[in-house]
Amino acid sequence: MIRTAQKKMAAYYAVAIFFVVIDRFLKVLSLNYFAGREIDVIGDLIKFTFTKNYYIALSLPVTGLILLITISILIFGLLFYSIVLFKRGQVDMAGLFSVVSFCAISNFYDRVRYGFVIDYLDLKWFTVFNVADATIVLAILLILFNTYRPLKLTI
């Protein structure tokens, strides 16, 4: 059981690292090469657009030191909670919380380094976001789904 659980967590870490690496690559690309330009990805439905996001989710106007401290506490809390869940044998939930944490760290790095989060995917009629944001939303949806209907993921 423990071997299987460790392999499953390693797979979740690999998935998280994969999306964080893609996110970091696209952020560097947008910051250094595409700032000030829009590139159509899928017609005018999805565009690659460098955007500085000074706020938090859904552009809620929270900034500054309070935001950094709050995000730090949340990330460490999520990581700690994922360890607790793993120890309880809830590997899928622990893995999903780890994915959220890793992607949140990618955005947190931007806030500390640049003072804003780099967003680059402009979805027409919605908002500009990044791969880390999309991965966090997907993982949270899976967490919610798993809360009410336990997952049987085979990774």
Calpha distance 85→96 (Å, rounded): 10
Strand, helix or coil for residue 128: strand
Strand 46-53 to strand 128-129: parallel, antiparallel, or no bridges (unpaired)?
unpaired
Using the structure block, give the residue that is written with the tokens 């990618």.
106
Question: Out of 92, 110, 122, 133, which one is annotated catalytic?
Answer: 133
Whether 133 is catalytic: yes
Whether 44 is catalytic: no
Q: Compute the residue count for the chain.
A: 155
Strand, helix or coil for residue 36: coil
Residue of 20, 15, 39 whose CA lies nearest to 133: 20
Question: Out of 23, 92, 119, 122, which one is annotated catalytic?
Answer: 119
Strand 128-129 to strand 38-42: parallel, antiparallel, or no bridges (unpaired)?
unpaired
Residues annotated as catalytic are: 119, 133
